[in-house]
Structure 1
C-alpha cells in the first residue's frame, strides 16, 4: 500500500503538470504580493499621483498682419484680449441629462457675462425685434444654407419643405426635445441666447477639447467671476487671444472690410491655397481683409500637449511657434480719406437744410422739375421714426418717459381705430372698392396685401394674372374683401399658415381664419406701426415738439446742463427750427434721416500711377462690430437702415454718367473725323434728324424762351455742356457708309471709345465692384451720357484719370506694399496699365482739356481758387419723383495733373452739389486754405449754381 502511495507521489512529482502547477503557484504568489504592495502598502500614493493623460495637438493661431495707410498710419491691428470659451467635455447618462446640464451652464454663463457689462457673441442668423418677433438676418441662398445647417442637410436641395420654414418655426424646432430641449422656464429672449451658443457648439460637432468662443474682449470682472466659478461651470474657461481692431472704422470700413468665422464655402476656397485652414479659423470676409487673406493670415504654430479627462493641459511635449502674417500698406491717405468723408457729410446736410420747409406736404406743380422738390418738415419728423433713430418699441417700456408714454397711448387709440376700419373693409357690408378708399386707408390695405404675399400667405406663384378678378383688383375696382374671398376660392391662399381649425373648412371658415390672422399680425408689426405714426404726424396727433423731446429722452440728443429740453426747443423758435438747427450742427446726420440726398462718394487717384488716394463712401458703419464675429443685432439694424450703410457707394452704386460722358463722345467724334477741333455746330435747340417734336431730344438751354448756345466748337460744347452739339456728333457717328442712320452703328462707335477709356470692365480696384454697363440703345441720347449707360464712381475715376494723363488707362489699385513682420518689403506693387490710347491725336487731347478747363472757369464754385482745375459736371435723371443724381469729374492742377477727383451724389439735385464737394477736396488736398475752413463740422449749404447738364 505504502509502495503504491509512493509510486503515485513519484509519478505526480515527476509529471510535467506538477512542475507547471508549482510555477503557476509561484507566479500567483508574486502577483498577490504585487497587488498587496500596490493597493495596500502604496495605494494612497499611487491614487494621488494617477491622472488620465491624453495626448493631443493644439493649434496656435498666428498673429494677423496689420494694415497701414500710405504714410504708415495704422488702420487695422490686433489687440490682446480675454475670451470666454466653453467645451462639451462632460459625461452624461442620457441626451436629456446632457441638454439640461448644458442649458443650465450656458444660462449661468450668459448672466455672468452680461452682469459685468459684456455681451455674448451674437452671430446667429435669427434675431428678435422690439415687438418680440423673430426674424432672419439673411435671405436667398444664405438663408437656405443656414436652414440646411439647422436641419443637418449637406445640400440645400435636401431641405424639402423645411426650405420654407419661418424663423419662428426654426426656433421652435431648436428649442424642442428633439434638439436642444430648452424648457419653458426660459424666456424667448433667454432661449434665443442659449440657442445661439448651442448652435455654435454644434458647428464644432460637440468635439471634446475643441472650445467654442462665447464672448470676446471681456472685462477683468467677467474674467474673475468665471475663474472663480470654473468648478461649477463644466467646460467653461478663460483664454487669452487677440481680436481685430480698426482705427476710425467708419471712414475705412468699406475698404478694409472685416474678419469673421470662415463659412464652408470660404473654407473650401481657402484650402485650395493653404490646406491648414480650419472651420474655426477667423478669416477676411470682405474688403482688403478678404482680398489679402492668405498674406495677412500668417502660419499657425502647433503644440503637442497632454490633457486630463476634463481637457485641461497638464504637460507640454513639444511646440512649434506660429509665424506672424505679413503687413499690407495701402495707397490710401488716412487724413485725406477722413477729410473727404466729412466734406460729403457737411454738403449733404447743407442740401437738406436748404430744401426743408415748414410745410406738411409737398405737392408739385404741373411744370415742376426734379430740382424743385421740397422736403416737408413732417417728412423729417417721420424719418426719425421710419429709420429707427427713435425707438418706438421703447414707448411701452416700464422706464419710458412721460412723453413716450403719452405718445404710446395715442398710438394705441389710433391702431385700434385703424384695425377696426380694416376689419370693416374685410367683414362689413359696405366694404369699398380700393379706388374709393381714402389715401390713408389705401396705404394700409396695400401694405396688408404686400404683407400677406411676403409672408407666403398669398401664393404669388399660384395667382393667375390673366384672371378677370385679379385684373379688377389691380385696376382698383373691387374691394379687399372681394379680392381675398376670391383668392381663397382659387387656392391662392396657403391655409396651412393661418391656423384653419377644420381640416375640410369651407371658404367662409378660411376667410374668418384669415381675418383673425390679419388682426393678430397687425397688432405686433413694426412696419405697420410706422405707417400709423406717419399719419399721426400728418394729422397732428403726434407733434413735432413730442418728436424733439423723445430725441432727448432716448439719448439721441444731449441736453445742456443750463437748460431743459423744452426750453431748448422753445429758444430755437419751435420744433421746426430746432430740428433744422440740429441738422445744421450735424447732431442729426443725413444718414440718420435717410432722406434724399443721404449718400455720396468720392474717389481721388494719382493720375500718374492709378493709385487710389481716397475711396470714400457715405454713410458707413463700424466694422469693429463685425470683427471676429458679426453682431447679429447690429447687422440687422444696418440691414433695416434706409440709408443703406453696408453699400459701398463708390464701387457698387451705378448711375448714369450724364454729361461727364461727353469726353468719350468728343473723343469718338474727333478721332472718327465726323467733327474737327475747329468746326462749329449751330445749336438749333431741338434735334429733329431722327425724331420729331414733341419726342425729339432738346438741348437743356432750349426752354420756353427758345434760347440756344448758337455756333460752338467741341471745346465750347464741353464748356457749355451743349446737348445739341453732342446729339449731332452721335448722329454723325451713327451714319453708315451709305449715309443711312443706324443707331447700332453709333452705339458700336461709342462702345469702342468707352472701352478704350476702360469703361467696359471694372476699375481694377481690389474690393467688390459692380459691373459697368455701356449703353446699348439710342445712340443720340447715349452721346450725352443717357441711354443705358451705368457706371460706378471708381469706373468714372479710371476714365477721368486716363483723360487727365492724356492716354494711359491704369487699373486702379489700393495696394502699395507687402511687408513682413520684421519690416522687410516683400513686394512693392507697381502700377498696371489696362490700355494706352497711343493713337489719339494730340489735338484731340488739347480740345478736351481746354473744354474741361473752361467748364471749371465758368463754375461759381471755383471762383477765387487760384490753382487751375479742369473738370466736367453731370446731372442724371432717374425718375421725376426723386431729385436728380449729381456728378463731377475733375483733375488738378490743369497744367501738370497730379490727382483726379470724381464725385457722385445720388439724388443730389444738381451737379452744383458734386462740384462743391470736388472744390473742397481740392482746397484740402493742395492746402489752399486752413483745414478748419473746409472741415467745419457744420452743414455747408450750396454757394454756387450750375446751369445745364
Structure 2
C-alpha cells in the first residue's frame, strides 16, 4: 500500500513537470514566432541616445585685499526644452502649454520676450528694446514677411505656422506662440538655446520631474552671487559668448553655451576664474528625457582672485562721491546737473589700487534685466570713468610744468616772477590771459617762486614758465610721469591724450602757437588724462619719483584656498629724471593744504596732507559748470596713499575736495581700517 502511494505521488509530480515544460515551450513559441513582428516593432520604436556633454566648472570667487568675499557662485536650476525633439512630436503645443500653465500655477517666471501684447486686439509693444526689434526684423526677413504686417495678421500667421489648432483659445495660443517664437528666433540667429525658466527653486524642479514632460529637462548650472552693492565697474559681470568670442574660447575647450567674463575683473582674470570643464555621458530617450548620467572627466573648479581693493574704502569713495554730486545737483537745473565723476585711491609705494569709484554706477544683481536701459542712458553708467574717462587736468598739471622748469634749469628755487594779474607778452597779438585772482582783486599775487606759485595756484607764474619752456619740455615731463599713456592696470583703460604740436596738426589740422604752450602749462588745452593716471602721477610725486605700474590684482589662490598660485609684487617702471627737485614741489603741495587753495578743508586736518586743486573750463559762460579736479597724498611727511578726484561740472577742485577728506577720515581711523566684515571673510 505504501509503495503504491509513493508511485502515485511520483506520477503526479511528473505530470506537473511536463505541464510546466509544455507551457514554457508554448510561450516561447508564441514570443519567437507569433509575436516576433510585434516585439521587433516595439523595440524599433524605442531608441536611446548617448552623448558627451560638458560639465561646467565651478567659477572661482573674487575677494578684496582683506579676504572679504565679493563675488561667489551657487547652483542654479534651469528648465530647458529640447527644440529638436519637440518638433518631432504631434503634441508639441500641448507640452508647451502645459509647461507654461504649470509655471504660472507655481508663480514661476518664464522667458517670453515676444514683442506683442498678451491679449487681443494684438499690437506690437511700444517700449520694444533694441534686442527685441532686431530679433523681430530677423524673423520677418527669414520668413520673407512684410515688415509692416499688422500684429493681428502676424498672430494669425504664427498660429498657422506653429500648427496651433483653432480649438485652442486665443490667450492660450498667444502663450504657445511666445515660447515657440523664442525657440525659433534663437535658431535663426544662431544664439544659445532657449531656456524656459532660469534659477527656479528645488520645489518647482520636483514638480516638473513629477509631470515627466517629454522634451523637458532640468539643467544644473551656477549663478554668480554678489555680496556687495559696490565696485560694479571693477568686478564686472559674466555672460554668454558671441560668435567672435566663441572662436577664441573654443580653442581653450569652452562649450558653445559657456559663460565667460564680459567686463571688469570677471573678464580680466577669466583664465583663473573659469576652471576646467568636465565631461559627462548622458543617455536620453527619443523625447529627450534623461535616462542616465555618468561623469567621465570631473570638472576642476576655478581659482580664487584676491584684489587690491579694500571694499570698505570703496564704499566710502562711492558714497561720498554720490553724496557730493547730489548736493551740487540739488541747486542745479536739469540741464546743468553734474553728469559724472570718479575717484581713484592708490598706494604710493606699490601702484596698488585701493579703490576706484565711478559715478553714475549700476547694480550687478539687476544688470541683465536693465542692461539696455543702462546702455542707452545718456549719463553712461556703464562707463568706468575712473579708468576710461579722460579729462583736462586743470591746475593739478602745474607740478609737471614746475618740474620741467626745474630739471631743465629754466628756473631755480630762488627764481621769482611778479604776477601783475595780466600776462601781456602777446597782447599785441590779442592774447592776454589773466591770473585767476585778477577778476576778484583787480591785481595779481605779486612776487612768487615755484613753491608759492603751486601754493597759490598762480596762473601767471606758469604762463610765464610755459612760454619760457616750450611744449617739448612740458610734454616730455608729463610723459615721464606716465600721463597720456596706459598705467598697466589689468582692466580696460584709456591712454588719454598728451598734447603736442603733432597731435594738434594730425587731429585738428591746425598749427601749434605760443598760446598753446601757455594754456597747456596750466592744465588747459588738449591734454586729457584718466583719474587713474592722475592718481598715479600724484603717487609718483609722493614717493620721490618712482613710477609704478598700477594693478588691481593682489593674489591668486587655489580653489580650496590652501595655496597661493600667484602673488603680485610691485613693478617699478622708471625713476623720474630730476627727482631731486621733487621736495620743492612736495613743499608747495603741502602748503596748498596748510595755507593755500585747500586750506578751508585741510588747514586744520590732524594728518599732514599734500594737495592740489584744479578747475577746468569746459565751455559756457558759467564758472559753476567747470569740471572740478583734485589730487592729494597723505601723510605728507610719510606718504601712504594718493587720491585723484574728478567731478564733471563740479565747479572747481575746491568744491569737491571734501570727498578726499571723507576718504582720509576713513583710511586713518584705526577702528575702520582694522574692521573687516567677519561674516564675509574667507581668510583670517
TM-score (norm 1): 0.59
Aligned-pair CA distance for 1:930:
8.0
Shift of 1:306: 2.6
- Preserved CA contact (<8 Å) 2:594 2:604: no
Give SS of 1:602's match. strand
SS in 1 for 2:83: coil
> Are 1:239 and 2:239 counterparts?
no
C-alpha distance in 1 between matches for 2:395 and 2:356: 22
CA distance in 2, matches of 1:168, 1:346: 50
The residue that corresponds to 2:19 in the other structure is none
Distance 1:168 1:790 in 2: 50
2:402 aligned partner: 666
2:126 to 115, 118, 133: 133
Distance verdict in 2 for CA 1:336–1:166, change over 3 Å = farther
User: Pick from 58, 62, 67: which aligns with 1:67?
Assistant: 62
Which of 715, 733, 737 is residue 469 of structure 2 equivalent to? 733
What per-residue deviation string (whole Å, max 9, x for no partner) do you get for residues 630-686 of structure 1?
Answer: 33xx12222344433212121122221100111111111111111112211111222
Say which of 847, 856, 868 aligns to 2:593: 856
Aligned partners of 1:182 and 1:191 also within 8 Å: no
Residue 910 of structure 1 aligns with which residue? 652
Structure 1 counterpart of 2:186: 200
Q: Which residues of 2 match residues 168-187 of structure 1 at below 5 A?
A: 185=170
Q: How far apart are the structure 2 equivalents of 1:691 and 1:168?
A: 69
Q: Is the 8 A contact 1:892 1:898 kept in 2?
A: yes
Q: Which residue of 2 is the match for residue 888 of structure 1?
A: 630
Deviation at 1:168, TM superposition (A): 9.1
1:815 aligns to 2:553 (yes or no): yes
Q: Root-mean-square deviation (CA), in Å?
A: 3.9
Q: Tell me, yes or no, if the aligned pair for 1:758 and 1:799 is still in contact at 8 Å.
A: yes
1:372-771 matches, within 5 Å, as 375=332, 379=334, 596-626=337-367, 630-631=368-369, 634-692=370-428, 695-703=431-439, 705-734=441-470, 746=471, 748-771=472-495
Kindly indicate whether the alpha-carbon contact (under 8 Å) linking 1:134 and 1:167 is maintained by their aligned counterparts in 2: no
* Equivalent residue number for residue 508 of structure 2: none
1:248 paired with 2:228, answer: yes
CA–CA distance in 2 between the matches of 1:874 and 1:909? 10
Structure-1 separation of matches of 2:587 and 2:116 = 58
Deviations 1:434-465 (A, max 9, x none): xxxxxxxxxxxxxxxxxxxxxxxxxxxxxxxx
C-alpha change, 1:718 and 1:227, in structure 2 (3 Å) is: same
Return closer, same or farther for 1:53/1:229 CA change in 2, 3 Å cut-off.
Answer: closer
The equivalent of 2:244 in structure 1 is 265
Aligned to 1:14: none
Report how far residue 304 of structure 1 moved.
2.2
Give the Cα–Cα distance (whole angstroms) in 2 for the partners of residues 716 and 665 of structure 1. Answer: 14
Alignment of 1:858-877 (within 5 A): 858=595, 859-877=599-617
71 and 126 in structure 1: CA distance in 2 versus 1, 3 angstrom threshold: farther
Q: Which of 297, 307, 322 is the aligned partner of 2:284?
A: 307
1:804 and 2:546 equivalent?
Answer: no
Determine the C-alpha separation between the residues in 2 that align with 1:680 and 1:243.
64
Go from structure 1 to structure 2 and tell me whether the alpha carbon gap of 1:88 and 1:677 turns closer, same or farther (over 3 Å shift): same
Superposition deviation, residue 271 in structure 1: 3.3
- CA drift of 1:318 comes to 5.5
Deviation of residue 211 (structure 1)?
Answer: 6.3
> Bigger shift: 874-883 or 318-327?
874-883
What is the CA-CA distance between 1:214 and the residue it aligns to?
2.5
CA 801–107 in structure 1, closer or farther in 2 if over 3 Å, else same: farther
Name the SS for the 1:663 alignment partner: helix
Determine if contact 1:684/1:708 at 8 Å carries over to the other structure.
yes
- Give the C-alpha shift of residue 831 in structure 1: 2.1
2:209 to 221, 227, 230: 227
Unaligned ranges ≥5, structure 1: 1-31, 154-160, 356-374, 380-593, 735-745, 932-949
| In structure 1, distance between residues paired with 2:111 and 2:87 | 27
For the residue of structure 2 that corresponds to 1:217, the secondary structure is: strand
Alpha carbons 1:174, 1:181 under 8 Å: kept? no
Taking the aligned partners of 2:602 and 2:455, their CA distance within structure 1 comes to 14
Q: Is the 8 A contact 1:125 1:138 kept in 2?
A: no
Deviation, structure 1 residue 282:
0.7
Q: Which runs of 5+ in 2 are unaligned?
A: 1-25, 501-511, 674-684
Instruction: State whether structure 2 residue 109 is matched by structure 1 residue 119.
Output: yes
- Which has a greater percent of strand? 2
Displacement after TM superposition at 1:819 (Å)? 1.2
Q: Is the 8 A contact 2:628 2:649 kept in 1?
A: yes
Give the Å deviation of 1:314.
Answer: 2.3
Deviates more, 1:188-197 or 1:792-801: 188-197
| Conservation of the 8 A alpha-carbon contact between 1:174 and 1:195 | no
Q: How far is the alpha carbon of 1:784 from its aligned partner?
A: 0.6
Moved more, 617-626 or 607-616: 617-626
Given that 1:659 and 1:721 are in contact with CA atoms closer than 8 Å, whether structure 2 keeps it comes out as: yes
1:900 aligns with 2:639: no
- Change in CA separation of 1:297 and 1:619 when aligned onto 2, cut-off 3 Å: same
